[in-house]
Amino acid sequence: MAEGRSYLDSLLNLESLRKSLVRQEDTIIFSLIERAKYPINSTLYDDDKPPAHLSDSLFHFLLKESEALQAKAGRYTSPEENAFFPDKLPSPLLPPPDHTPVLHPPGAAININDKVLNLYLKTLLPLIAADGDDRNYAATAASDLNCLQALSRRIHFGKFVAEVKFRDAPEDYTPAIRAKDREALMKLLTFESVEETIKKRVEKKAMVFGQDVDLNENDSNGDYKVDPTIVSKLYGEWVIPLTKSVQVEYLLRRLD
Ligand SMILES: C=C(O[C@@H]1C=C(C(=O)O)C=C[C@H]1O)C(=O)O
């Protein structure tokens, strides 16, 4: 138990949280590369024409059932994890770990996965997957789940970042929180140079991770498994703004 506390305490500074965000980039980019192996496979997502015996799409079914299974194994006892279908999840079979909560409870409950799911299905998928249908639905949905969980974890990590920023400078954040001034909070928590570095680094990682490795050639042929500019755009237009919006929402609840 003391061990658990010191582990969480060691995570609680901006530098180590940022290191974790950098590491999460690898997971996100590899999961996108995996999903890009399959064509778009629209039939998988079609809620209007579900397969026999199902009331929703096969994708919906797989996501919900996977979350139910993972909930039993305790996935959602972790404050880093947020379910896409949090209603009526089964209870964990084991007692939750005995950690002192790091997050302030009203903010810990924030879940914007409806936005994450919508963004993923409507905007990101058409950008990374080729047109077509190879009927490889179960494998496609499994790789969707990996992408969604990695993106969701990254975006909701904003709660930890906000908690640390608040603890580091409560005197700066408190007036804006009391005034419910979203704009002022956004300004306080934004570090533009950090964001610029991230956008450049994820583009470079997508180049490095997404090329074929050929022992006979030194240079890549310029073919990447996921377009690096799309990864940079994903971060610049969606991942970073959503992480910041989680931070603002968290801070607004920080004094409740
Ligand atoms: C996450 C942070 O807060 C903001 C959001 C960032 C992001 O989502 O990557 C980066 C810098 C900040 O503008 C941070 O300060 O590290």
At 93 the pLDDT is 96
Tell me, in angstroms, the distance from the centre of ligand 1 to residue 172's CA. 17
Domain that residue 193 falls in:
3-252
pLDDT tens across 70-108, in order? Answer: 999 999 999 999 999 999 899 999 988 887 889 999 999
Average pLDDT, the chain: 93
Q: Specify burial of residue 198 (Cβ count, 10 A radius: 0-12, 13-18, 19+).
A: buried
Residue 176 has a CB neighbour count (10 Å cut-off) of 20
| Strand positions, DSSP E, 153-224 | none
Please give the model's pTM, rounded to 2 decimal places: 0.94
Tell me, in angstroms, the distance from the centre of ligand 1 to residue 141's CA. 30
- 6-20, 29-43, 240-254: least confident range: 6-20
At 6 the pLDDT is 53
Answer yes or no: is the C-beta of 194 below 6 A from any ligand 1 atom. yes
pLDDT above 90: percentage of residues in the chain: 84
At 211 the pLDDT is 93
pLDDT tens across 152-168, in order? Answer: 999 999 999 999 999 99
ipTM of the complex: 0.98
At 196 the pLDDT is 98
pLDDT tens across 122-133, in order? Answer: 999 999 999 999
**Residue with the larger pLDDT of the pair 150 and 213:** 150
Tell me, in angstroms, the distance from the centre of ligand 1 to residue 229's CA. 20
Tell me, in angstroms, the distance from the centre of ligand 1 to residue 178's CA. 22
- Residue with the smallest CA separation from ligand 1 atom 9 is 240
Answer yes or no: is the C-beta of 244 below 6 A from any ligand 1 atom. yes
- Our count of domains for the chain comes to 1
Q: Specify burial of residue 146 (Cβ count, 10 A radius: 0-12, 13-18, 19+).
A: middle
From 20, 22, 24, 240, mutation site for ligand 1 pocket: most ligand atoms within 8 A of C-beta = 240
CATH code of the domain covering residue 51: 1.10.590.10
